[in-house]
């Protein structure tokens, strides 16, 4: 089985976010980038298939040179090869089109992507990728088992879970539950050293229309000041809740 794991290079959630050019451009200065968490769950599951079933695992990211450390981390975790499509991931359809080209050329039978990235939260790439490839698709996937060409997947739905039977080739949009957080892997020194010797292929993008464009960014409103009340002063607390917060 040949698996391709799609990796988004996203800002760490602890990074301070700013915008430039009249709030039309994201400011990368001082921002630490990491593997998108939903993608990391998928990568960890792919490593299980490699270790238990002898699968080959490649990782791919659509991004510029600053995405390579993230791909190297994926190699250090255990992926066999990495591919970087040399383009700015400016639009969901553009990214899906680039990934589809990589999948077609690599003849992968299982494509694991995160259900969404934590930067723009578009949640559109896995579905568009499956459509472009004509592959089966399971989104919000929280469990995946492969037996030959048959797959059993479990996904979250409103109010519960759904178990599906399907076949390869398959695209999934994974999330937490595909593996647990405790299963996520931290690269060790041996993995880091081996990653330096593994192939990281640079490919140029194919032409694809940009269907959406960012017009402007806006930060959430700052949190209001917190008013502290002495634990023994219940009368003041009730007065504030009633007359100021108006919640009682």
Give the model's pLDDT for residue 219. Answer: 87
Give the model's pLDDT for residue 56. Answer: 97
Mean pLDDT of 153-165: 94
Give the model's pLDDT for residue 173. Answer: 97
Mean pLDDT of 13-41: 91
Give the model's pLDDT for residue 247. Answer: 87
Give the model's pLDDT for residue 221. Answer: 85
Q: What is the greatest pairwise CA distance in the chain?
A: 71
Q: How far apart are CA 231 and CA 221, in angstroms?
A: 29
Give the model's pLDDT for residue 90. Answer: 87
Give the model's pLDDT for residue 112. Answer: 98
Q: What is the pLDDT of residues 163-187, one digit of tens each?
A: 999 999 999 999 999 999 999 999 9
Q: What is the pLDDT of residues 71-129, one digit of tens each?
A: 999 999 999 999 999 999 989 999 999 999 999 999 999 999 999 999 988 999 999 99
Q: What is the pLDDT of residues 198-239, one digit of tens each?
A: 999 999 999 998 888 888 999 888 888 888 999 899 999 999
Q: What is the pLDDT of residues 38-72, one digit of tens each?
A: 999 999 999 999 999 999 999 999 999 999 999 99
- Is residue 17 very low, low, confident or very high in pLDDT (cuts 50, 70, 90)? confident
Q: What is the pTM of this model?
A: 0.88
Domain ranges of the chain: 2-217
**Cis bond before residue 169 (omega within 30° of 0):** yes
Give the model's pLDDT for residue 60. Answer: 98
- Is residue 13 very low, low, confident or very high in pLDDT (cuts 50, 70, 90)? confident
Half-sphere exposure of 78 (CA within 13 A, CB side): 19
Where do the H-state alpha helices sit in the chain? 37-53, 68-77, 92-106, 125-133, 189-195, 234-239
Contact call for residues 99 and 121 (beta carbons, < 8 A): no
CA-based nearest residue to 103, from 131, 144, 133: 133
Q: How far apart are CA 164 and CA 166, in angstroms?
A: 6
Q: What is the DSSP letter of 191?
A: H
How many residues are there in the chain?
A: 248
Written as six digits, the tokens of 47 are 């490593």
Q: Which fold has domain 2-217?
A: Rossmann fold (3.40.50)
- Is residue 195 very low, low, confident or very high in pLDDT (cuts 50, 70, 90)? very high
Task: With residue 137 as reference, give the H or E element that holds it.
Answer: strand 136-147
Tally of CB atoms within 10 A around 229: 14
CA-based nearest residue to 77, from 33, 41, 107: 41
**Is residue 37 scored above 90 in pLDDT?**
yes
């Amino acid at each position: 089985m040949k698996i391709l794991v799609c990796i988004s290079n996203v800002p760490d959630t602890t990074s301070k976010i700013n915008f430039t050019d009249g709030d039309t451009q994201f400011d990368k200065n001082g921002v630490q980038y990491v593997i998108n968490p939903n993608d990391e769950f998928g990568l960890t599951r792919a490593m299980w298939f490699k270790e238990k079933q002898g699968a080959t695992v490649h990782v791919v990211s659509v991004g510029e040179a600053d995405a390579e450390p993230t791909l190297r981390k994926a190699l250090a975790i255990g992926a066999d090869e990495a591919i970087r499509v040399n383009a700015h991931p400016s639009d969901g359809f553009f990214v899906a089109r680039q990934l589809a080209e990589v999948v077609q050329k690599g003849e992968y039978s299982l494509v694991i992507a995160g259900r969404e990235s934590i930067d723009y939260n578009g949640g559109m790439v896995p579905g568009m990728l499956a459509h472009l490839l004509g592959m089966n698709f399971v989104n919000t996937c929280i469990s995946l088992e492969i037996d030959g060409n048959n797959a059993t997947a479990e996904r979250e739905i409103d109010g519960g879970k759904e178990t599906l039977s399907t076949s390869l080739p398959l695209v999934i949009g994974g999330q937490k539950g595909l593996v647990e957080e405790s299963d996520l892997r931290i690269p060790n020194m041996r993995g880091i050293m081996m990653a330096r010797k593994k192939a990281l292929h640079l490919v140029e993008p194919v032409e694809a229309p940009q269907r959406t464009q960012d017009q402007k960014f806006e930060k959430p409103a700052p949190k209001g000041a917190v008013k502290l009340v002495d634990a023994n002063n219940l009368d003041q607390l009730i007065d504030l809740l009633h007359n100021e917060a108006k919640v009682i």
